[in-house]
Amino acid sequence: MTVWREVIGQEPALAILQRAVAHPESMTHAWLFTGPPGSGRSVAARAFAGALMCPTGGCGECRECRTAVDGTHADVDLVATEGLTIGVGSARELVQLAARRPSVGSWRVIIVEDADRLTEHSGNALLKAIEEPGSRTIWLLCAPSVEDVLITLRSRSRHVRLRTPPVEAVAALLTDRDGVDPAMARYAARAAQCHVGMARRLARDEGARIRRRQVVTMPTRITGVGDAVGAAADLMAIAEEEKEHSLTERHTAERERLLQLLGADPTARTQPPHVRSQLAAMEKEQKTRATRFIRDVLDRTLLDLLSVYRDALVMRTGAPVAIVNEDNLDTVGGLARALTPEGLLRAMEAIGTARERIDANVAPLLALEGMAVSLILPR
């Protein structure tokens, strides 16, 4: 067992990182990990941090490895925003952290999991610290692609490109690490399109599998404008259901904990001004978190929908490529018969446009309705 055990299907990237650990005298002080969703950017960054802290270069067993991977090591600082952006205030706090020397290890490592969410102002606040870091400070930035990161930051970082791991590697990880049945592990890995986190959820959560099936069986039912509007509403309802399932209990617990810390009476009809201001700030943060969560769920849902049209295109053209939705061949075959290759490509483009619009802060339901109208099947 090593600290790299969960960095699967990334042999070229691993060779670069392990070489850097073995030769600390030539260490690069700013790294940029990029790769598609589910490729394991943050997993690789945490494993790299563990290897840097480990006396033997990443045994995976010692306290340094375990705490670095968990994000609890004294010299490993992890930034994983749940908001829409990383603000200037958070960036300035990181600059102060970067100026400190390591307390127990050889390095101080700062991992920014969502470097693509740095704004121009917050990115500029980090620029000097990344350009001229302390002699024992290492920055690890993670983003989907190089283009998603401010050019001033990416030009000062060493790029490590991760790729989508193969289905077999993801399935093997689910079986070995989580004890998932091999058949279920393979289904989950394929259905999640090798997104490790989503594959784990599909393998362990029947509700997630049911919601995905609702999405991937939807295309052949969109035969008119009414069906399109209904499909958009269904997609939005799935995202809202996920949000309620995941965030409601958490937000309630946060409110109760804040009132307890402030010594306020949770049953009181009105609260003192200082308590109200704290509650308002917390509710604003929770609203931002919910917005981000809805966008992320919708994006994953649209990727599932996109996979059906992709499979239909593969079937229609006879391309020698594996089908993602092997358990939903009826829908895939129906689309392949109903649409030409050009029509399938237009549908895929409409889904991609909806993803871009939602990411650009267009009202999600409006973006979904516009997409669904474009997916109406010809009579």
Domain boundaries, the chain: 11-161, 167-204, 220-264+274-374
**Can you give the pLDDT at residue 93?**
87
Query: According to the model, what pLDDT value does residue 222 have?
Result: 94
pLDDT of residue 243 exceeding 90, the answer is no
Letter for the amino acid at 251? H
Q: Are residues 68 and 53 in contact, defined by beta-carbon separation less than 8 angstroms?
A: yes
Bridge pairing between strands 76-79 and 108-112: parallel
Pairing relation of β-strands 30-34 and 76-79? unpaired
What CATH fold (topology level) applies to the domain 11-161? Rossmann fold (3.40.50)
**108-153 per-position pLDDT tens digit:** 999 998 898 888 888 888 888 888 877 889 999 999 999 999 899 9
Mean pLDDT of 105-110: 88
The DSSP call for residue 323 is: -
pLDDT of 331 reads 93
Q: Name, of 58-72, 98-112, 124-138, 365-379, the range with top average pLDDT.
A: 365-379
pLDDT of 273 reads 87
DSSP string, 116-163: GGB-HHHHHHHHHHHHS--TTEEEEEEES-GGGS-HHHHTTSEEEE--
Mean pLDDT on 344-358? 96
pLDDT tens string 147-185: 999 899 999 999 999 998 999 999 999 999 889 999 999
Q: Average of pLDDT values for 207-214?
A: 91
What pTM does this model have? 0.79
Quote the CA–CA distance of 300 and 182 in Å, as a whole number: 24
* Residue corresponding to tokens 């945490």: 46
Gyration radius of the chain's alpha carbons: 23
299 three-state secondary structure: helix
Q: Is the pLDDT of residue 31 over 90?
A: yes
Across 237-256, average pLDDT: 86
N-term to C-term CA, the chain: 57
**300: which 2 tokens?**
């994953």
How would residue 310 be classed by pLDDT, with cut points 50, 70 and 90?
very high
Residue in the block written with tokens 């024992």: 136
The widest CA-to-CA distance across the chain, in whole angstroms, is 69
Quickly state the pLDDT bin for 255 (edges 50, 70, 90): confident
272 pLDDT tier (thresholds 50, 70, 90): confident
Mean pLDDT value of segment 10-38: 91
Mean pLDDT of 201-228: 92
pLDDT at 70 over 90: no
Mean pLDDT of the chain: 90
pLDDT at 84 over 80: no
For residue 255, count other CB atoms closer than 10 A to its CB: 15
Percent with pLDDT over 90 in the chain: 51
